[in-house]
Structure 1
Amino acid sequence: MTDLRTVVSEIAQEMAGRSERGTVAHYIPELACVDPARFGIAVMLADGTQIAAGDCDEPFSIQSVSKVFTLTLALGKVGDGLWRSVGREPSGNAFNSIVQLEQEQGRPRNPFINAGALVVTDTILSGHQPREALGEILRFLHFITGDDGIGIDEAVAASEKQTGYRNAALANYMKSFGVLDNPVAHVLGVYFHHCAIAMSCRQLASATRYLAFLGRNPDTGHSVISVERARRINALMLTCGHYDGSGEFAFRVGLPGKSGVGGGIIAVVPGIASVAVWSPGLDPVGNSRLGTEALEMLARRMHWSVFG
């Protein structure tokens, strides 16, 4: 049997020697300052064992990885009614594209592109002040990880607000169609802040575990979400979790996953493990270049794939 510890260590060593590392997200000033030489990986198994290497304890801005957790919360709040406002299909366009919104009367293709995530954020915000909505998101992360130290990088949030013109355009456009219920400024504020949550690979692998084990925390046996909902979130991660690179990721890695422009990627090996990798350099569609390569290597060497 292939030894997971050896595989994780070898992947970290191999990634450390790579010269082609992609390009950091320069359009968000705080992310442009991150060292592209960083690489971390963490794998968490059913019994709580964590196998990690590299910069696995270094907090980083999780960015769009947060959309998995906000989707979980929104579905818990309004159930399948959420799908009246956001679709479940791959977009085939850039994550911040406005073109499809015009063609489809302001209804985003899926909850993981920026427009869809703004709708999800609007759902969580309804009935709350922005600070309360952010508190709910953080409490959920604290609950699923058992780690109350997870918080928001305020410098990144401010940086996103200063440069978030595209997201403001998306939100205002959807508001014109009546898709958003809350004030645009409030939706954007909560969105920028939950994208600016800082977590390490170890924390992210822990946070993702409920999706690897049928919606349950395997430590306690307590249900986080229903089995059906966990399966559906995993399906959306597989088909839509990497923007217009989702098909390529499914082809190369074969696992449900979600990326963020901070360089983080989470992945789910159903019934076996949850995984988080981080490398700040991105490929042309906004996914971590070395993170994707590392997950491809891990899946291949451990024979992990939802396709058998």
Structure 2
Amino acid sequence: MRVKTACLKHFLNGLVDEIAARGDWGEVADYIPELAKVDPAQFGVSVSLADGTQISAGASAERFSIQSISKVFTLACVLGRNGEQIWTRVGREPSGTRFDSILLLEQEKGRPRNPFINAGALVTTDALLAHRAPKDALSEVLAFLRAAAEDDDIHIDPAVAESEARTGFRNVALANYLKSYDNLHNPPELTLGTYFHQCAIEMTVEQLARAGRVIAQLPDAPQILSPEKARRLNALMMTCGHYDGSGDFAFRVGLPGKSGVGGGILVIAPGRASIAVWSPGLNLYGNSLMGTYAAERIARFTGWSVFG
């Protein structure tokens, strides 16, 4: 379905007003001290279209911690560097459990269900670290994001990284459990430090929507991700991108998406658009409450869906 730019701009501006009027913001991720300081009553949205147009509304220039959205781009780097080898260490199935759950990891002998739950993301980060320093692995993720967004002003927030390292005890437990099954090849502290810094990358929705063009395979996107790898990322985002809320997101939105506890969601309409929304307050699944609502409203307005 082709969407007129002027109509979409009018709709997004109205959506900002509608969400502000609702006043139902959810709760910020207060278990990460730096994120606990963020005002939940904020919303920004940006849409990059196939014709090269970008339309934004609300707090679209506000920087936020992308958190688990970074897992998509780290996985893209690992697939580019190591190919399909990563799938010997991590699965491709929905977990049906919280993003930081250790339950399935114990039952399935240290092989995480998918690369987007925290245990799976630690394995992916560990693979990216192979035979090099953390700063080099992080530089690769940042370089990929900057190239995808065509914007060098994308950085790691050291305060958020430090905050996560100071309070990320569940991730420490997951890393040590993975190590006990020999599914972490680097020292846990190295993998954890890299992972915490990766999650602390900060972006605006405008930058994130532009970066998502490579996954949507839009005509104007930089040619840094093959169609096959983009298809794999989209499939995983659809089935696993919102943890135990993935089925609900797919039902309501009908598009691949990846959330982060910083309140961001990257949504992909393959071949049509890359959409980024941000609102820091979370729902019971740990996904942005108003971001999820906005994604549903945008999908209904545009008619975009992978289901026809």
SS of the aligned residue for 2:139 comes to helix
Residue 143 of structure 1, CA deviation = 1.1
Q: Alpha-carbon deviations, 1:243-269, whole Å to 9, x = none?
A: 100000000000000000000000001
Q: Are positions 1:58 and 2:66 aligned together?
A: no
Instruction: Report which stretch shifted further, 128-137 or 169-178.
Output: 128-137
SS of the aligned residue for 2:22 comes to coil
Partner of 2:208: 204
What is the rounded CA distance, in whole Å, between the counterparts of 1:18 and 1:85 in structure 2? Answer: 44
SS of the aligned residue for 2:135 comes to helix
Q: Which amino acid aligns with 1:292?
A: T
What is the rounded CA distance, in whole Å, between the counterparts of 1:302 and 1:142 in structure 2? Answer: 28
SS of the aligned residue for 2:274 comes to strand
Partner of 1:68: 72
Partner of 1:224: 224
What is the rounded CA distance, in whole Å, between the counterparts of 2:13 and 2:301 in structure 1? Answer: 12
Partner of 2:138: 134
Q: Are positions 1:23 and 2:27 aligned together?
A: yes
Partner of 2:171: 167
Q: Alpha-carbon deviations, 1:10-57, whole Å to 9, x = none?
A: 111111212221100000000000011110000001232110000001
- Give the 5 Å matches for 1:82-161: 82-161=86-165
Q: Which amino acid aligns with 2:303?
A: H
Q: Alpha-carbon deviations, 1:94-130, whole Å to 9, x = none?
A: 1000010110010000000000000000011102101
Runs of 4+ in 1 over 4 A off after TM superposition: none
SS of the aligned residue for 2:52 comes to coil
Residue 223 of structure 1, CA deviation = 2.6
Partner of 1:275: 275
What is the rounded CA distance, in whole Å, between the counterparts of 2:228 and 2:144 in structure 1? Answer: 19
Partner of 1:244: 244
Q: Are positions 1:265 and 2:271 aligned together?
A: no
Number of matched pairs: 304
Partner of 2:286: 286
- Give the 5 Å matches for 1:171-190: 171-190=175-194
SS of the aligned residue for 1:128 comes to coil
What is the rounded CA distance, in whole Å, between the counterparts of 1:228 and 1:207 in structure 2? Answer: 17
| Structure 2 gap ranges (5+) | none
Q: Alpha-carbon deviations, 1:225-245, whole Å to 9, x = none?
A: 221111111010000000100
Residue 82 of structure 1, CA deviation = 0.6
What is the rounded CA distance, in whole Å, between the counterparts of 2:148 and 2:223 in structure 1? Answer: 10
> Between the two proteins, what is the percent identity of the paired residues?
61
Residue 218 of structure 1, CA deviation = 2.6
Residue 149 of structure 1, CA deviation = 0.9
